[in-house]
């Protein structure tokens, strides 16, 4: 009982923060608006959040990442890719605490992460079996399947699911930090059974975060918050997609890599 109360409080706090960050100015378009503000020729009311525009922004971020990925695949060495991934990881952390900066952070993240993943994909491509194109197709399929399951109501986002997604994301952040400081994490730096298990766990966390991101989009539109939040929603979905792709690379690499280590 206490656990359920805690999870409900956590969810309410999360969306209260969204409302606080992107709340529309009082009186815009409502019955309490001052008469002077409602006269023609005065300032137009701000645009409210639109789910369709949030997904349009996600598509734009994906295109930016794909173009950057081609550059990373063809010309970026591993050392530069690692640096790009470190900076991109830092942008994710900044985005958690400064949601209003997403309009700038999200495109920068897509460029950096695209370059890094392109270089990493080149290493996986050396294994053969069409791992990279298969991972791209599977990533798109996972996103579409998750969206269909959410839109049809077959999957309902509950406070428990949100808490699991949040805790899983924190766990992956901790793993990422350990990896960045040079500590070896079982499954993250190797193929074989450990890599397969880690990849499946990361994929499950990524899918949970996609569901919560879809809920964020739906609630934000219902709350009528500022359109600026569309970038924050697109950024959140983009980070989940990146995790899906990395998980797919690790799963496929473990299935075909025979226990070898990545370059």
pLDDT band at 169 (very low <50, low <70, confident <90, very high): confident
Model confidence pLDDT, tens digit, residues 202-235: 999 999 999 999 999 999 999 888 888 999 999 9
Residues 6+ apart with CB under 8 A from 156: none
Report which of 211, 205, 208, 232 is spatially closest to residue 220, judged by C-alpha positions: 232
pLDDT band at 188 (very low <50, low <70, confident <90, very high): low
Alpha helices in the chain (DSSP H): 2-22, 35-38, 51-75, 78-97, 102-125, 131-151, 159-180, 192-223, 229-257
7-11, 135-139, 141-145, 237-241 — which is least confidently predicted?
A: 7-11
Model confidence pLDDT, tens digit, residues 84-120: 888 998 898 888 888 889 999 999 999 999 999 999 9
Q: Taking 70 as the threshold, does the pLDDT of residue 53 lie above it?
A: yes
Q: Taking 90 as the threshold, does the pLDDT of residue 148 lie above it?
A: yes
Q: Taking 50 as the threshold, does the pLDDT of residue 178 lie above it?
A: yes
92-96, 227-231, 237-241, 259-263 — which is least confidently predicted?
A: 259-263
How far is Cα 156 from Cα 133, in angstroms, rounded to an integer? 31
Q: Is 142 helix (H, G, I), strand (E, B) or coil?
A: helix
């Amino acid at each position: 009982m206490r656990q359920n109360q805690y999870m409900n409080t956590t969810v309410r706090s999360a969306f209260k923060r969204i409302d606080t960050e992107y709340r529309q100015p009082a009186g815009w378009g409502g019955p309490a608006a001052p008469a002077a503000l409602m006269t023609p020729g005065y300032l137009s009311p701000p645009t409210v959040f639109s789910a369709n525009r949030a997904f349009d922004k996600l598509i734009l971020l994906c295109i930016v990442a794909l173009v950057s990925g081609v550059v990373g695949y063809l010309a970026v060495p591993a050392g530069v890719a690692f640096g790009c991934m470190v900076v991109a990881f830092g942008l994710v952390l900044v985005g958690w605490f400064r949601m209003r900066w997403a309009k700038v952070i999200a495109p920068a993240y897509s460029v950096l992460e695209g370059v890094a993943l392109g270089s990493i994909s080149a290493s996986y491509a050396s294994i053969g079996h069409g791992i990279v194109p298969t991972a791209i197709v599977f990533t798109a399929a996972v996103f579409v399947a998750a969206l269909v399951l959410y839109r049809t109501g077959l999957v309902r986002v509950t406070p428990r699911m949100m808490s699991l997604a949040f805790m899983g994301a924190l766990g992956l952040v901790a793993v990422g930090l350990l990896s960045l400081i040079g500590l070896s994490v079982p499954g993250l730096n190797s193929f074989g059974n450990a890599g397969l298990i880690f990849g499946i766990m990361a994929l499950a966390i990524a899918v949970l975060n996609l569901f919560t991101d879809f809920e964020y989009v739906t609630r934000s539109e219902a709350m009528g918050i500022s359109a600026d939040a569309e970038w924050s929603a697109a950024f959140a979905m983009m980070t989940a997609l990146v995790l899906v792709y990395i998980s797919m690379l690790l799963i496929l690499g473990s299935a075909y890599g025979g226990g070898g280590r990545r370059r």
